[in-house]
Chain A
Amino acid sequence: MRLGLPDIKAHVRASETALKYLTAKPRITVPYPEALLELPQGYRGMVKLNVETCISCTQCARICPSNAIKMHKRERKRLPGINYQRCIFCGFCVDICPVIALEFTDVHDLAFHTLPEHLFEPEGFAKGPPPPHVARGTRKVRTEIDEVRGFKYE
């Protein structure tokens, strides 16, 4: 009968790796309100609308794969509004906009108290997302690519 003895060496190596990371200094995540991640250029955060430039072409609402963007009727033209319950941050709306009326912000704080707060009608959409939550003594951290560990925060 084959006993199927365990590979002791592999078990020791697995435990060693875990112990090594237990004492390792940097972490992949940042503590949310205390450290604010400085985001790279072209980061796909929440979207902001420029009402003056918008030509009501409705392309953004058509391209949106999750039906997050709907057009709302206003006095002179139709303007897009966005529902962050649905948005998947694909950025198609920003890409397709022929007059660059939509632009990314570097805010991604999607924690709201009520469901209606997720819905940004054209007025709110033009105002842009609320500023990110910050705690007292928030510090900005930047991602650095480290040769050994991959990530490092400064």
Chain B
Amino acid sequence: MMDSIEGFVNVILGLLFTPQIFVPLVYPGLLTAAVMAIVIIWLERKVAAKVQLRYGPLYVTKRMGGVTQLVADLIKFFFAEVIVPRDVDKLPFKLGPALLLTFSLLPVVALPVSGQFEAFRSDATLFLAVALLSVGPIYVIIVGWASNNKFALIGGLREGYLLVCYELPVFISALAMAVLYGSLDLVELVRMQGPGLWGALLNPFAAVSFLVATFMSTSRFPFEIAEAESEIVMGPYTEYSGICYGLCMAYSYIKLYVKSILFALVFLGGWLPTVWPFTLDPTLPGLIVAFKAAAVMLVGVFLRAVYPRYRIDQALQIGWRPLFALSTASLVWSLFMVGVKVGGWV
């Protein structure tokens, strides 16, 4: 009897630690994303409060500075009534939040967190990750339309305008890195950054345009235009309540988390500088990637304390003029670097 239970537990544990299950569910998937989102939202509120000379969340677990405030908020969301207004388009309205979160988290299956431990190996994982990331905003527009509310509609349309102007620089700067390293495989990309030649150093133009476009796509300040709380209530998510609103709110943070991992892999050397004996075990490389991603996320949430909000036309101008020009310049720079064979290795 004991043997069979032990065997069962072993089978379950073995199954859990296979990369195909561990990556989407635990790290860098669902569980880590949830913990990261909770911590980063708390940090965002705490940093913004500190800069504005306030205290921020404090009273839930006071000794730790109120870090579990977001858990309390989540529990509150779970017990709040989910209201579906009479005149909304029922099916897309109900499915919207779940699909938003799914498509913001789905790209993690393409992100390797160490050289050996990955959900699946493909020679186009960079393209796959960027392509999957660009699906989510479509559902923002859909929920904005389905809500049958003018604030939601305006918010959805704003997201639609921005979508075109931030996805283009993301794709072009990702392409620039692929041209520079001659590969679309993220594992290969990190391996090529080996001798301290990180992507951000070799092609700073691509790094800057990718980073700014990331903040634009994840509604960080100063590009928090689709949800602009002081103008259009909560943008596309105005009609949502309870846990459905919670999912919508988590969408941009989870997306920020995934894009930060992608940024860490492509521009910050991924799990480097891990040396040989440690690369055999995925723990240390995974932690390094998480640390770098957290640093990028921290920059993103710190901006809330720095900037006011741009108008939609100003943001579009930034997207289409300097950002688009910068990403195109990064592509040209990559071609130049490949042409002169910098360091004799590319």
Q: Which of A17, A18, A29 has the most CB of B within 10 A?
A: A18
Please give, as numbers and ranges, the residues of chain B lying within 8 Å of A22 by CB-CB distance.
47, 50-51, 305
Whole-angstrom distance from the CB of B288 to the nearest CB of chain A?
Answer: 25
The answer to whether residues A21 and B50 also contact, given A14-B306, A14-B307 and a CB cut-off of 8 A, is yes
Whole-angstrom distance from the CB of B320 to the nearest CB of chain A?
Answer: 9
Q: Nearest B residue to A150 by beta-carbon distance? A: B53
Q: Which of B54, B302, B318, B322 is within 8 Å of A28, CB to CB?
A: B54
Please give, as numbers and ranges, the residues of chain A lying within 8 Å of B55 by CB-CB distance.
27, 29, 31
Whole-angstrom distance from the CB of B11 to the nearest CB of chain A?
Answer: 50
Please give, as numbers and ranges, the residues of chain B lying within 8 Å of A29 by CB-CB distance.
53-55
Q: Which of B53, B58, B305, B325 is within 8 Å of A24, CB to CB?
A: B53
Can you list, as one digit per residue, whether each of A17-48 has a CB less than 8 Å from chain B (1) or not (0)? 11001101011110100000000000000000
Say yes or no: is B76 at the interface (Cβ < 8 Å to chain A): no
Can you list, as one digit per residue, whether each of B308-346 has a CB less than 8 Å from chain A (1) or not (0)? 000000000110011001000000000000000000000
Can you list, as one digit per residue, whether each of A116-144 has a CB less than 8 Å from chain B (1) or not (0)? 00000000000000000000000000000
Given the complex of chains A and B, what is the CA–CA distance between A24 and B58 in angstroms? 18
Whole-angstrom distance from the CB of B221 to the nearest CB of chain A?
Answer: 11
Q: Nearest B residue to A5 by beta-carbon distance? A: B322
The A interface is mostly helix, strand or loop, or mixed, namely loop
Can you list, as one digit per residue, whether each of A69-113 has a CB less than 8 Å from chain B (1) or not (0)? 000000000000000000000000000000000000000000000
Say yes or no: is A148 at the interface (Cβ < 8 Å to chain B): no
Say yes or no: B54 contacts A3, CB within 8 Å. no
Say yes or no: A18 contacts B302, CB within 8 Å. yes
Q: Nearest A residue to B50 by beta-carbon distance? A: A22
Q: Nearest A residue to B304 by beta-carbon distance? A: A18
Q: List 21 A-B contacts (CB under 8 A).
A: A1-B321, A3-B325, A4-B317, A4-B318, A4-B321, A6-B318, A14-B306, A14-B307, A15-B306, A18-B51, A21-B51, A21-B53, A22-B51, A22-B305, A24-B53, A26-B53, A27-B53, A29-B54, A29-B55, A31-B55, A31-B58
